[in-house]
Structure formats: C-alpha cells, structure tokens
Amino acid sequence: MTVAEPQEEFGRLAALATTRASESLGSLLCDQIETKALNLYYLDSPERLLTRLRLPRRLITITQSINGREKGKISLAMARDGAPNLAAALIGRHGNHSRKLGGLDIDAFKETANIVTGSYLALLGPVLGLVGVPSIPAVVEGTLDEIALSLVPQTRALCVEAHLLAPSRNLELVVLMAAGRENKLQAEESAA
Amino acid sequence: MGLRVLVADDSLFIRDLIRHHLERLGFKVVGEAANGSQALSLFKTLRPDFVTLDIIMPQVDGIDALAAFRGMKGEDPEVPILIVSAVPFDKTRETFMNEGALDYVTKPFNKSSFEGIRRKLGALFAKAGKNSPTAELQPDDRRTQ
C-alpha cells in the first residue's frame, strides 16, 4: 500500500475534527469520549482498505455519501456486539440490553452518524472539496469483507480513521472519512 | 399556555429530544412530521405558532425541506421556523437564513440551544404585540432557577 504523510495542516484539522466529534458524541451519551487513535493514510485502491482497517469481525456501519466538487464517504462503525450497548446509552434505556436492535435504535445510530459527519465536514469538507449536503445515512450489518468496499469511493482515496472510546461504557466507535483523491491535497502531494 | 410547535425531523430519536427540550421550556408540541410533505400538510391543518425543521429528510411527493419551508412561509409569512440540522456549512445556513428562518441550530443541541431560541421568540412576539411565547415553565426548571 502506498502511504504518504498527508500535509501537516490537514493533520491538525483532522485532529480538531476528531475532538469535535468526540465532544458531540459525549454530549449525546452524557459521557467522556477519548480518542484512542487517529490515522491518516492514502489508499491507492479501495481493496487496500481490507488490509488497513482494524475493525471487529462482525460490525454495523452507518455511511453517508457526499458529492461536492469531489466524492467522499463518512462512516461510523462499531462491533455488532456493542451496538445494543450504544443504543441503550443513546436512548437512555436501562437494565438488560437485548441483542436485537429495533427501529428506534437504528434511527439513533443514523442521527449519531449524521452528527459525527457534521463535525468532520465542517473542518475537512472545504479542504477536500466535499461541501455538498450528505446523503441520508445507510445502515449495514455484516463482516468487514462484505462491507469494506461500500465505505470508500471507488477511486484512490485519502482516509481519516479515528477510534473513539467511551471507557465507562466499554464502547469503541470508529469513524472513517474517505475522500476521492482528485483534490487539492493530491496536487500538494505531487508538488512536494 | 405555551407556543404551539410543529416538529419536523425524519428521526424519531431527534424528535423525542426536541420535544423533551421544548416541553421543559414551556412549549406545547402539537404535531410531528417525518418528511417535508407531511410537515407542510400538518402545518396547514394545525396552524402552529412555531416550527422546527430538519433539512435532510426523505423527499416525499416532490417536497424536500426547502420546498416545505417555502410552502409554510407561503401560507404564513410571519411564522418563525427554526432550522435544526447536522449540516455544518455556512452556505446552507445562509440559504435558509436568507429565506427567512428564525435561526439555524446545529446538532447536537442541548437545552441551552433552545433557551436562546425562546428568548429570540419572546423578542419577536413582543415586537408583534403578542403574548410571551412560553409563559409557563415546567416544575424541574423552576427548581433549578
């Protein structure tokens, strides 16, 4: 895989966007959210994501597409096993959490993803040419092999991968922002 | 009696949150809509005093959020419409503010987001010579004041 260091300023903005997303999640969950890891990398083909992304075996993803000057996708991913826990925290449900997810649970996931997407788009969207209104969130359950290709545009892509933790709830959420490479950063990289 | 509010958002989760905050501030939610078409239809039927409107909702019957916004303003040019959205772009905000939105609240919101709106509505209604929009606060709020 070709991995080049994205621009320093982009890294600073990605870190700031991740902080904002953490604060937004913290506000929704009434909890402290920590950033466990923030990775920036380039993918020279969508398939490379399978070897790059570290996610649980079975997961749920909520993905939004953005078609501005460039094409991009932002996804929120979590382990399937942890999803009932997240739903309960969002909705304020107490007691034993059923493994089965209902309509309101899925709805809460979609809105959470919508809000996280907003945090990233506000800061990184203009830099990447992603300034369109995001699509309605799409929720998918499956294995990473099954889902991975739906998380990135079908081009070379610049990716921001953030792992967010709610330690008190034993929850880990992964944000993946993938933007098509035909953008300013590509030009800057070529010039560097 | 508080202001009568129509809440339009495709997410039941968010509608519940908005209702919670508004009712604690003394508003009365009289209707909920899950898309622009339903919002416009309920607006015509219920004639609410105030509307909250999400801007990313499924388009139904060719009516998206902006069309619903314009439809409601066409029915009642003075009705205050609050945009509640996760879209962070200034351009989107400006579009709706230029169309006459009361304000643009970015998700996630909290109680204080709506307290500011209540003040804004109070000033708006006072200027128009109408009663205060939310005369009664809920018991929890009285305790904390």
Decide if B113 touches A, using CB distance below 8 A. no
> Which residues of chain A make contact with B10, given a CB cutoff of 8 A?
136
Which of A27, A90, A108 is closest, CB to CB, to B110?
A27
Q: In angstroms, what separates the C-alpha of A93 from chain B's closest C-alpha?
A: 13
Q: Enter the pTM of the model.
A: 0.83
Q: Residue type for B138, please?
A: Q
In a domain, A2, yes or no: no
Q: What are phi and psi of B105, to 5 degrees?
A: -100, 130
CB contact under 8 A, B14 and A111: yes
Q: State the pLDDT at residue A50.
A: 83
Average pLDDT over residues B120-141: 66
Q: Which domain holds residue A166?
A: 8-191
* Rounded mean pLDDT for each run of 10 residues along chain A, 192 residues in total: 60 95 92 93 85 86 89 94 91 69 93 94 90 90 89 87 92 93 53 46
Q: State the pLDDT at residue B132.
A: 62
Strands (E) in chain B, as ranges, are 4-8, 28-33, 50-53, 81-85, 103-106
CATH number at residue B43: 3.40.50.2300
Interface of B with A in 20-49 (CB under 8 A): none
CB contact under 8 A, B108 and A27: yes
Q: State the pLDDT at residue A92.
A: 78
Q: Does B145 or A4 have the greater pLDDT score?
A: A4
Residue B141 pLDDT level (bands cut at 50, 70, 90): very low
Decide if B127 touches A, using CB distance below 8 A. no
Average pLDDT over residues B85-92: 89
DSSP state at residue B60: B
Which of A119, A125, A133 is closest, CB to CB, to B56?
A133
Count of domains forming chain B: 1
Beta-bridged to residue A179, according to DSSP, are A72, A158
Looking at the predicted structure, is the pLDDT value of residue B137 above 50? no
Average pLDDT over residues B70-79: 96
Count of domains forming chain A: 1
Q: What are phi and psi of B32, to 5 degrees?
A: -130, 135
Looking at the predicted structure, is the pLDDT value of residue B101 above 70? yes
Residue B88 pLDDT level (bands cut at 50, 70, 90): confident
In contact, B8 and B37? CB cutoff 8 Å: no
pLDDT in tens, B42-68: 999 999 999 999 998 888 888 889 999
C-beta neighbour count of B105 within 10 angstroms: 18
Q: Write down the ipTM of this complex.
A: 0.77
Which of A78, A38, B118, A11 is CA-nearest to residue A89?
Answer: A78
Q: Which domain holds residue B59?
A: 4-144
* Average pLDDT across chain B, whole number: 87
Average pLDDT over residues B77-93: 93
Q: Does B142 or B103 have the greater pLDDT score?
A: B103
CATH number at residue A70: 3.40.1550.10
pLDDT in tens, B12-35: 999 999 999 999 999 999 999 999
In a domain, A28, yes or no: yes
In a domain, A3, yes or no: no
Q: Residue type for B110, please?
A: N
Q: State the pLDDT at residue A2.
A: 39
